[in-house]
Structure formats: structure tokens, C-alpha cells
Amino acid sequence: MVANQEAEAASAAAPGAGTTVDPMRLASRWRSPEEWEFAAAELDAEPLPSELNTVNSSGLFAVVSTDKLSVKYLGSHHHGHDVGVVQADRPAPTRRAVYYFEMGVKNAGYKGQTSIGFSSGSFKMRRQPGWESNSCGYHGDDGYLYRGQGKGEPFGPKFTSGDTIGAGINYLSQEFFFTKNGSLVGAFPKDIKGPLYPTVAVHSQGEELTVNFGKEPFCFDIEGYILEEKMRQQSMADKLKLEENISHVIVRSYLLHYGYQDTLNSFDMANATDPPGSRQNGHREPPEMYGLSHRKLLRQLIMSGDIDSTFKRLEEWYPQVIKDEKSVICFLLHSQRFIEYIRAEQLEDAVKYARANLASFLTYKAFEGLLKESVALLAYEKPAESCIGYLLDSPQRGFVADAVNAAVLSTNPAMKDPESCLYSCLERLLRQLTVCSFERRAFNNDQGDAFLLHKEVRNCERSRRS
């Protein structure tokens, strides 16, 4: 899709950009809703454990049922290596806040030496989880926790026939945790690296377990636990002290940056104070005040589809922006004019306009993605319902308006930082948040929630509706 051209467009040498910044770096702003949904679905598509692994198991001492969701002890339990241990078919997923599974003790058998935990792919499959390095386990016969050493430590209550025991990984706090019959038993630091497999074991005659990897409702309220953990993380963030009126400054800067003059006036009137930060860096007004009324009108013209008037106003107010007819701003405006013909179902005019104004851009790779998709609208009887129908929606107009806005801001001689033409304070803050989120995941071996702003916004919208 067009959004995937962002890196290519940013690095391509588009002739005569005509501005000190490249507005095509705003490409991430015109991602279609379908692309955002695909990106979110890609994050959620991580394979999940679904059954027990019958290949990598201690088959001499345990038999797995045909549905691969229960295991029964077969051995005679002569010594400590006669363990029937089974891992899940896949490791625990890592691109989430919490992973959790449960086992039901169908029969505690002769000694009740059932256990549950996590182990690495190289784990010795004739040992209880927690008896070897790179594993941990909660054991039913003594209620002890084992963390890679032969000696356990007091942890929780014993468990026996009829009990449901759960094991989870809290990636937010980097902890393992265990539950019994729907109640949290305890948690401890996650000090094992690499992929970890859900693991259960039986170790004496008559022992039989069932596993639930999420196909059935859990005994433990895992959704409530995740919500509580996220609220705890949020409360920690809420305790951080911020500069007074910082939210006011950020919101006002956003309105200034994008030329929302009417909303800005209402915002200032509602606050009825001298706006904080309005005298930044020795200036009576922040740099974003530059051309505010002009940028307001240009945005209104583009959002209403009046590209011809936009060209005229730019020629009158900021001729340097469109001086080079092969500049990226000219390309975006011409492509949008073509799209407006399609919106109005004036196909003949659209073809004529494309031949006269878009054909010359065919040789420039930086413009290839949007140009191809724009022209492809002609191929559909109902272009609005096609896979590229998003080009006819208002967000595409918004992207062009943002690009023109950035180009106008770049003509301000008082604007010292070129990056500030492209992004408002709010957007720079969100970009930094995204980077920090991925850095945090990298620090935790790429484990934990994969941050996607669109996904977070969507979740907030769902919470408000519920």
C-alpha cells in the first residue's frame, strides 16, 4: 500500500522539493484504516499454544490423550527421573501484557506429585519443571516453588484432585505467577530468558491432568488481572510530576501547528488566561503562529476539495512552495485534484487532467505509490468501494492539507528546527513514546505489549463505549 512507500519516498531524491523539509515524511499520516487494522492484526497474530506436544515428551512415563489436552502417568516411579513431563506445542507468546494457561488435577494419584510451570526448548524431558535450569514449577505434593535448583522454597498451598492450577507470565512486571482455584497464589521475578513452553508433569501412579490453553473459560479471572496490572502501571505513571500547565501547552501547540485558528480562539477564550508558553524562547509569539490565518484558509480549501483555489492562494501568498512544478507539494496537489474529479464522477475530466498534470511525475520513484493507486481509481466501477477507496475519504485530503501546512511553515525564517515543520509537540511526544516502548521491549528481550498507537486509541474508544 501507499504507506509502505514512506521510507523510499523520504530517501529518494525528488527533484526540486521547493521546501527545506520533505513533506512526504508525513506519509505515515495517510495510512488507510485497512492498513492500520492489518498492522494491529499482525501484532495479534502471534501463534498460541493450543495442545500438548506428543513428540517432545517423556513418552516412557506418560501418555497424552488423543485430543492432546490431557496426560496420564504410566511409569512405576522408581526414582526421580521417572517423570512424565509434557510441554505445549508452542512457546508462550510474548507480544502481549500477560500469558496464562491452566491445568486441572483430574487425579492426584499415589503421591500427588503433579506440577505446572514453564521450561525452555532444551529442557530435559525426564525432570520436573523447576528441577533444571531455565525452568520453573509449582509442585502439588509440597506446595513449593522450584526455580532451576533441586531445592524448592515455600510458596503456596498444596494441590490435589479436583483443583485447578494456573501459570502465567506477566510481561508488564517481568514476573511469573501461579493461581489455585481462581485465586492468585503468588508471583516472583522472571529471570529466565528465551522462548518458554507451558509445561505440566505427572510423577506417580494414577496421576492424570488436563490442560486449558484458552479454548475454555479459565477458572481465574485473567482479564480482570490484566486490567488490574495495567491500572497499576498507569497509577505509577500518574505519580510522575509534570510541568504545570503542560497539557495546555501541548494542546495549544497542536492547534497552532495545524492552523485550527477558530478552535484555537475558542480554546484560549475557554481558558481565559494568558496562554502558557506563548512567549517561548524570547519570542512574543511561538513560531507556529506564522501564517496562521493563511494556513487556516488553505486547510479549509483542501478539505472542501477546492484544489484550484489552493493553487491560486499559494501562488499569491507563498509562491516559493509551488515554484518548482515537479516539487512534492505540486505532485500532492495535482494528485488530489485528480482524485476530486473521481469523487465528482467526472471521469473524462480526470483522464484529461492526469495526462496534462500527472504524466510528468511517472519517472519519479518517490511518487510512484500514490500515483499508481490514484490512477487505478479509474479501473473501478465503484471506486469508493474498492481496496483503494480510502483515497476518496477525508483523511486523504487531510494528509495533503498537512503537507501543504508543513511546506508553508518551512518558509518561516524564524523556524530554526526543520523537524518542527512536520510534527507538532504532541506528535513528537507520541513518537518518543513509541520509541521508548520499543526500547523497553528490547530491554526485556522483545517481550511484552507491542505498542501501536492506533491500537491504543481503538482500545480507548471501545472502553468509552462499554
* Range of lowest pLDDT (42-51, 368-377, 411-420, 453-462): 453-462
Cβ-based neighbour number of residue 249 at 10 Å: 18
Specify if 41 maps to a domain: no
Task: Supply the DSSP symbol for 144.
Answer: E
- Which of 99, 90, 81, 80 lies closest to 56 in space, CA to CA? 90
For 440, phi then psi, to 5°, come to -65, -40
Band of pLDDT at residue 14, cut at 50, 70 and 90: very low
User: What is the reported pLDDT for 5?
Assistant: 35
Q: How far apart are CA 24 and CA 399, in angstroms?
A: 10
What CATH number did the domain enclosing 158 receive?
A: 2.60.120.920
Band of pLDDT at residue 377, cut at 50, 70 and 90: very high
Q: Enumerate the β-bridge partners of residue 67.
A: none
Task: Dump pLDDT digits (tens) for 421-460.
Answer: 888 888 888 888 888 888 888 888 888 887 777 777 777 7
Specify if 150 maps to a domain: yes
User: What is the reported pLDDT for 27?
Assistant: 45
End of a domain among 235, 258, 286?
235
- What are the cell numbers at 223? 482479564
User: What is the reported pLDDT for 72?
Assistant: 94
User: What is the reported pLDDT for 66?
Assistant: 92
Tell me the percentage of the chain whose pLDDT exceeds 90: 58
Cβ-based neighbour number of residue 202 at 10 Å: 32
Band of pLDDT at residue 241, cut at 50, 70 and 90: confident
User: What is the reported pLDDT for 214?
Assistant: 96
Q: What is the DSSP pairing of strand 115-119 with strand 98-107?
A: unpaired
Q: Number of structural domains, the chain?
A: 2
- Over 80: is that where the pLDDT of 238 sits? yes
Mean pLDDT, the chain, as a whole number? 86
Tell me the percentage of the chain whose pLDDT exceeds 70: 86
Task: Supply the DSSP symbol for 355.
Answer: I
- What are the cell numbers at 25? 515524511
For 104, phi then psi, to 5°, come to -105, 130
Number of H helices, E strands in the chain: 14, 14
- Which of 407, 432, 198, 416 lies closest to 322 in space, CA to CA? 407
Please report, as a single letter, which amino acid is at residue 433: L
Place of cell 515455600: 154
User: What is the reported pLDDT for 46?
Assistant: 87
Exposure string of 255-284, with b = 16+ CB inside 10 Å and e = fewer, is bbbbbbbeebeebbeeeeeebbbeeeeeee
Q: How far apart are CA 403 and CA 22, in angstroms?
A: 9
* Range of lowest pLDDT (49-58, 146-155, 210-219): 49-58
Band of pLDDT at residue 247, cut at 50, 70 and 90: confident
- Over 70: is that where the pLDDT of 23 sits? no
* Range of lowest pLDDT (107-121, 155-169, 335-349, 360-374): 360-374
Q: How far apart are CA 110 and CA 206, in angstroms?
A: 6
* Range of lowest pLDDT (124-128, 223-227, 453-457): 453-457
- Which of 404, 408, 391, 410 lies closest to 302 in space, CA to CA? 404
User: What is the reported pLDDT for 33?
Assistant: 62
User: What is the reported pLDDT for 215?
Assistant: 96
Q: What is the DSSP pairing of strand 84-88 with strand 70-73?
A: unpaired
User: What is the reported pLDDT for 67?
Assistant: 95
Instruction: Judge whether 77 and 110 are in contact, CB under 8 Å.
Output: yes
Specify if 352 maps to a domain: no
Q: Once rounded to an integer, what is the mean pLDDT over residues 393-409?
A: 93
Q: What is the crossing angle of helices 368-376 and 328-343, to 10°? A: 10
Task: Dump pLDDT digits (tens) for 157-208.
Answer: 999 999 999 999 999 999 999 999 999 999 999 999 889 999 999 998 999 9
- What are the cell numbers at 53? 506436544
Specify if 205 maps to a domain: yes
Please report, as a single letter, which amino acid is at residue 133: S
- What are the cell numbers at 80? 526421580
End of a domain among 220, 235, 250?
235
Q: How far apart are CA 121 and CA 242, in angstroms?
A: 45
Handedness of CA 391, 397, 398, 401 (dihedral sign): positive
Specify if 184 maps to a domain: yes
Task: Dump pLDDT digits (tens) for 277-289.
Answer: 444 444 456 778 9
For 210: left if phi > 0, alpha if psi spans -120 to 50, otherwise beta; the answer is beta
Task: Dump pLDDT digits (tens) for 333-349.
Answer: 999 999 999 999 999 99
- Cα 348-349-352 angle, rounded to 5 deg: 90
Instruction: Judge whether 117 and 87 are in contact, CB under 8 Å.
Output: no
Q: Enumerate the β-bridge partners of residue 212.
A: 102
User: What is the reported pLDDT for 55?
Assistant: 82
- What are the cell numbers at 37? 487494522
Specify if 302 maps to a domain: no
Specify if 181 maps to a domain: yes
Specify if 271 maps to a domain: no
End of a domain among 212, 235, 258?
235
Q: For residue 458, give the 3-state DSSP assignment.
A: helix
Instruction: Judge whether 425 and 249 are in contact, CB under 8 Å.
Output: yes
Band of pLDDT at residue 314, cut at 50, 70 and 90: very high
Domain carrying residue 160 = 52-235
